[in-house]
């Protein structure tokens, strides 16, 4: 694996990359892998950490988008379902089936209006009754009939539904259950895509904290955010994959566009055992009073709930606001009115801006979640074409990347050599199928590394088959559990820092581990992690303190988590 320094060295000497991708969210990273695998000389730059934007703020669903059927977005649903199934097969360590239950409050409501919306003859939102939901789920099942990986949908009558979930709102007439999928830590899968790409093609590089700053004499100007060093580059082609920032990026490249009409969405993580128990392991998928779809589902020992949908044109400033937390808490009461969920039980919140296409839709929910690519031809100021990747779901990143990748290959007159639709990702490679195979795999690793079976199981759940490398690293020298979070060890944290492009303490805490989102942080743990990072990155005490302060400020401002500054920083 190339170090950050080696990559910059390469950049100094190699100024003629074929493709420059700006933006290290899932769309930029997906395309980076796609092109790297076809042997293209590609550079990806991200102004902050990878997954700084919407890609780290999703509802963690890998789904077909049941709701989009109402908008008549048939093609999108079909593509999403295909990609969902691809991910279940290619990344089984990261993406898993998610049973989803819809509480339904009427039999027939919304059916006529739903049909009209489907035929694009109406824009009105009405409550979705059982008949409408049943129709949607039947279509959903129909679309995956040739590639069924999970059970088809079922309806449960009121009495049985209440027997199964006694706290469910007694006003329901029935519930419907179907299967979609979830991704626990999307950021980790993104990191694996980069690792796979860089391993496959030595002339491709992905760099975080490298910002596109503009144009300088027809060259692209990049600024290293850590050192303020400026680099210039002459790419053959530029891809603008900066999500909600797309128009700002084009402006920096002296092009005026109005492609994006972003909406911000917030989620909260709740520590309420009664609510967790009431879900019975399912995602609860329901309609709020205003017609918006809300969700909540078990997230390890917590509950993840969301989301809001509010127009937002300043992506750097988007944060989850108090009224959004109230909105989400209120929506949960509609499903389980007898369970009290307190504000103080919200252990974490997060927010991101969906890079939706600019639209005149009367409600944000009606704006298409489909993706498209807009191409700006070269001109006398900008000597290269710019491909802007607009919209898209986390779920559809591979399909979108493949489509844009094919356009670029055509432009560069290069052949496609590798297909990605059934290519395993990261720890999904050689993944043992079935319980017996998995148990055997874990036992084999325990035997060869002399680590306890339980430890290997934990690593396998975190890293899939990459656990083999992690376990080998852990067992190569003395190791011990972290003092303030025994589920991680010193060498495991060191491994993550060394192998997963960790540049700042915030990268490690917010995007490579679940420590922050699950509310497991303490000031002592932050200090312990900062000490490991400081020793590995040779930080002075001053840098270490700056890193801790930056993390604490982000936790407070963006995630509603507050600690006192650690006492000792030595
Ligand atoms: C609230 C919410 C819930 C969602 N839920 C789901 C879901 O459950 N399932 C699903 O499939 N999809 C979901 N999505 C949609 C999905 O997350 C997004 O569509 C997808 O992540 C967009 O990825 P992107 O790469 O285009 O943009 P982003 O992830 O926003 O990436 C853009 C990147 O560009 C970088 N950048 C900006 N300017 C520059 C510059 N000048 N130089 C270098 N880099 C720059 C940014 O820092 C950022 O990291 C959700 C989105 C949101 C916001």
Q: Which of 58, 86, 184, 221 to mutate to test the pocket of ligand 1 (most atoms within 8 A of CB)?
A: 58
242 shares its domain with 374: yes
* Full 3-state SS string of 401-436: HHHHHHHHHHHHCCCCCCCCCCCCCHHHCCCCCHHH
| One domain, residues 168 and 212 | no
Note the pLDDT tens digit of each residue in 60-70.
999 998 888 87
State pLDDT tens for residues 20-33.
Answer: 999 999 999 999 99
pLDDT score of 148: 86
Q: Indicate the average pLDDT of the chain.
A: 94
- Mean pLDDT, residues 540-546 taken together: 98
Query: What's the mean pLDDT in 218-230?
Result: 95
Q: Which two tokens stand for residue 457?
A: 């199981």
The reply to whether 569 falls in a domain is no
Mean pLDDT of 543-565: 93
Q: How confident is the model at residue 115 (pLDDT cuts 50, 70, 90)?
A: low
Bridge partners, residue 273, by sequence:
none
Q: Which of 29, 31, 54 to mutate to test the pocket of ligand 1 (most atoms within 8 A of CB)?
A: 54
- Residue 303, domain CATH: 3.30.9.10
Are both 130 and 207 inside the same structural domain?
no
Strand locations in 355-395, DSSP E? 371-376, 386-391
- Span 39-61, mean pLDDT? 97
Q: Are residues 45 and 135 in the same domain?
A: no
- pLDDT > 70? residue 124: no
Residue 24 alpha carbon to ligand 1 centre in Å: 9
Q: What is the pLDDT of residue 496?
A: 98
Angle between helix 26-37 and helix 186-200 axes, rounded to 10 deg:
20
Nearest to 189 by CA among 122, 96, 263: 96
What's the pLDDT tens digit per position in 129-152? 899 899 999 999 998 888 889 999
- 314 belongs to a structural domain: yes
Ligand 1 atom, smallest distance to 210 CA: 43
Nearest residue CA, atom 37 of ligand 1?
242
Q: Are residues 471 and 553 in the same domain?
A: yes
pLDDT of residue 367: 86
pLDDT value at residue 237: 98
Residue 287 has pLDDT above 60, yes or no: yes
16 vs 28: CA distance, rounded Å: 19
| Residues lining ligand 1, Cβ inside 6 A | 22-28, 45-48, 52-55, 57-61, 63, 211-212, 241-245, 249, 265, 307, 352-355, 389, 392-395
394: in domain: yes
pLDDT at 72: 81
Residues 274 and 223 in one domain: no
Residue of 394, 396, 400, 510 to test ligand 1 pocket, by largest number of atoms within 8 Å of CB: 394
pLDDT at position 74 over 90: no
pLDDT exceeds 70 at position 567: no
> Average pLDDT of 238-267?
97
Q: At which of 182, 203, 221 does a domain end? A: 182
Residue 303: is its pLDDT beyond 60?
yes
Give residue for tokens 């399912």. Answer: 282
Residue 221 has pLDDT above 60, yes or no: yes
Atom 3 (ligand 1) nearest CA: 58
CB 542, CB 500: distance < 8 Å: no
Residue closest by Cα to atom 6 of ligand 1: 58
Query: How many separate domains does the chain show?
Result: 4
For residue 570, the model assigns a pLDDT of: 46
The string of pLDDT tens digits covering residues 179-220 is: 999 999 999 999 999 999 999 999 899 999 999 999 998 999
Do 523 and 563 contact (CB within 8 A), yes or no?
Answer: yes
Q: Which atom of ligand 1 is nearest to the CA of 48?
A: 47
Residues 96 and 115 in one domain: yes
pLDDT for residue 23 = 98
Q: Which domain holds residue 504?
A: 432-559
Q: CB 504: neighbour CB atoms within 10 A?
A: 21
Nearest atom of ligand 1 to the alpha carbon of 369: 19
Is the same domain home to 191 and 70?
Answer: no
Flag whether 308 is in a domain. yes
Domain presence at residue 420:
no
Q: Which atom of ligand 1 is nearest to the CA of 394?
A: 11
- Hey, what are 534's tokens? 């400081």
Residue 21 lies in a domain: yes
Per-residue confidence at 566, pLDDT binned at 50, 70, 90? Answer: low
> Is residue 535's pLDDT more than 80?
yes
Per-residue pLDDT band for 117 (boundaries 50, 70, 90) equals low
Query: Which is the closest atom of ligand 1 to the Cα of 26?
Result: 25
Q: What is the pLDDT of residues 325-381, one digit of tens each?
A: 999 999 999 999 999 999 999 999 999 999 999 988 878 878 888 999 999 999 999
Which stretches of 272-385 are assigned E, i.e. beta strand?
Answer: 283-287, 293-299, 302-306, 310-311, 346-354, 371-376
233 inside domain: yes
- Weakest mean pLDDT among 118-127, 443-452, 550-559: 118-127
**Average pLDDT rounded to a whole number, residues 285-290:** 87
Q: For 357, list phi and psi in degrees, rounded to 5.
A: -70, 145
CA distance 441 to 434: 11
Q: Higher pLDDT residue, 11 or 517? A: 517
Residue 508, domain CATH: 1.10.8.870
Ligand 1 atom 1: residue of nearest CA = 265
> Whole-angstrom distance between the N-terminal and C-terminal Cα of the chain?
31
> What ligand 1 atom has the least distance to the C-alpha of 222?
42
- SS3 call for 150: coil
**Could you tell me where the beta strands, DSSP code E, fall in 246-339?**
263-270, 283-287, 293-299, 302-306, 310-311
Q: Which residue has the higher pLDDT, 500 or 126?
A: 500
Same domain as 539, residue 491? yes
Whether 258 shows a pLDDT value over 50: the answer reads yes
Please give the average per-residue pLDDT across 288-309, as a whole number: 93
Q: Which residue has the higher pLDDT, 96 or 144?
A: 96
What is the mean predicted confidence (pLDDT) over 388-407?
97
Atom of ligand 1 nearest to the CA of 267: 1
Ligand 1 centroid distance, CA of 116 (Å): 32
Is there a single domain that holds both residue 168 and residue 244? no
Question: Tell me, what's the pLDDT at 10?
Answer: 84
pLDDT on residue 15: 67
For residues 89-104, give the mean pLDDT: 97
Q: Which whole-number Å values give the CA distances from 502 to 80, 498, 524, 538, in the listed order?
A: 31, 7, 20, 14
Tell me: pLDDT of 113 over 80: no
The encoded tokens of residue 81 equal 């379902």
Measure 54 CA to ligand 1 centroid, in angstroms.
3
Task: Identify the domain boundary among 354, 380, 401.
Answer: 354
**Ligand 1 center to residue 526 CA distance, Å?**
27
Same domain, 388 and 254: yes
* CA-to-CA separations, 101 to 136, 161, 176, 195, 384, in angstroms, rounded: 14, 10, 6, 36, 49
Q: What tokens appear for 536 in the block?
A: 């590995």
Phi, psi dihedral angles at 34 (to 5 degrees): -55, -50
Q: Please report whether residue 473 resides in a domain.
A: yes
Q: pLDDT at residue 569 above 50?
A: no
pLDDT for 100 beyond 90: yes
Where are the strands (E) in 166-292, listed by range? 174-183, 205-207, 210-216, 219-224, 230-233, 237-240, 263-270, 283-287
- Domain co-membership, 255 together with 267: no
């Amino acid at each position: 694996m190339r170090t950050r320094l080696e990559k910059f060295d390469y950049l100094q000497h190699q100024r003629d990359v074929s493709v420059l991708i700006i933006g290290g969210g899932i769309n930029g990273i997906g395309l980076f892998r796609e092109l790297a695998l076809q042997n293209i000389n590609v550079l990806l730059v991200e102004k902050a950490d990878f997954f700084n934007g919407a890609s780290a703020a999703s509802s963690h669903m890998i789904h077909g988008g049941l709701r989009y059927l109402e908008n008549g977005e048939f093609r999108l649903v079909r593509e999403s379902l295909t990609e969902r199934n691809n991910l279940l097969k290619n990344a089984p360590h990261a993406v898993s089936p998610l049973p989803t239950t819809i509480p339904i409050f009427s039999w027939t409501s919304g059916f006529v209006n739903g049909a009209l919306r489907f035929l694009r003859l109406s824009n009105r939102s009405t409550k979705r009754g059982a008949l409408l939901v049943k129709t949607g789920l039947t279509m959903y099942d129909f679309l995956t009939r040739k590639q069924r990986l999970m059970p088809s949908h079922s309806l449960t009558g009121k009495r049985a539904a209440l027997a199964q979930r006694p706290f469910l709102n007694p006003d329901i007439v029935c519930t419907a259950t179907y299967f979609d999928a979830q991704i626990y830590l999307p950021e980790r899968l993104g990191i694996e895509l980069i690792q796979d790409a860089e391993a496959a093609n030595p002339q491709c590089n992905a760099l975080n904290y490298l910002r596109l700053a503009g144009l300088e004499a027809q060259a692209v100007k990049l600024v290293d955010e850590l050192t303020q060093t400026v680099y210039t580059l002459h790419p053959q082609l530029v891809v603008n994959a900066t999500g909600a920032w797309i128009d700002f990026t084009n402006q920096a490249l002296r092009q005026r566009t109005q492609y994006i009409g972003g909406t911000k969405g917030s989620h909260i993580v709740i520590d309420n055992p009664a609510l967790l128990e009431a879900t019975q392991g399912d995602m609860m998928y329901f309609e709020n009073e205003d017609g918006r779809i809300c969700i909540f589902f078990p997230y390890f020992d917590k509950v993840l709930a969301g989301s809001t949908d509010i127009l937002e044109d300043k992506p750097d400033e988007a944060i989850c606001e108090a009224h959004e937390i109230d909105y989400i808490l209120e929506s949960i009461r509609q499903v389980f009115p007898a369970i009290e969920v307190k504000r103080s039980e919200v252990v974490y919140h997060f927010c991101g801006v969906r890079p939706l296409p600019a639209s005149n839709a009367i409600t944000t929910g009606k704006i298409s979640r489909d993706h498209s690519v807009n191409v700006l031809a070269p001109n006398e100021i900008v000597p290269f074409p710019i491909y802007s990747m607009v919209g898209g779901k986390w779920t559809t990143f591979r399909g979108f990347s493949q489509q844009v990748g094919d356009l670029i290959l055509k432009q560069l007159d290069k052949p496609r050599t590798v297909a990605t639709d059934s290519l395993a990702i990261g720890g999904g490679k050689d993944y043992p199928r079935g319980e017996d195979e998995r148990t055997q795999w874990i036992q084999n690793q325990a035997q060869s590394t002399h680590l306890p079976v339980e430890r290997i199981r934990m690593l396998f759940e975190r890293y899939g088959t990459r656990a083999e490398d992690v376990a080998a690293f852990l067992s190569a020298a003395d190791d011990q559990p972290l003092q303030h979070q025994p589920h991680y060890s010193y060498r495991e944290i060191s491994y993550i820092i060394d192998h997963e492009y960790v540049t700042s303490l915030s990268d490690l805490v917010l995007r490579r581990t679940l420590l922050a989102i699950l509310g497991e942080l303490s000031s002592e743990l932050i200090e312990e992690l900062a000490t490991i990072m400081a020793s590995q990155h040779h930080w002075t005490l001053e840098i270490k303190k700056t890193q801790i302060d930056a993390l604490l400020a982000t936790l407070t401002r963006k995630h509603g988590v507050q600690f006192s500054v650690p006492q000792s920083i030595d």
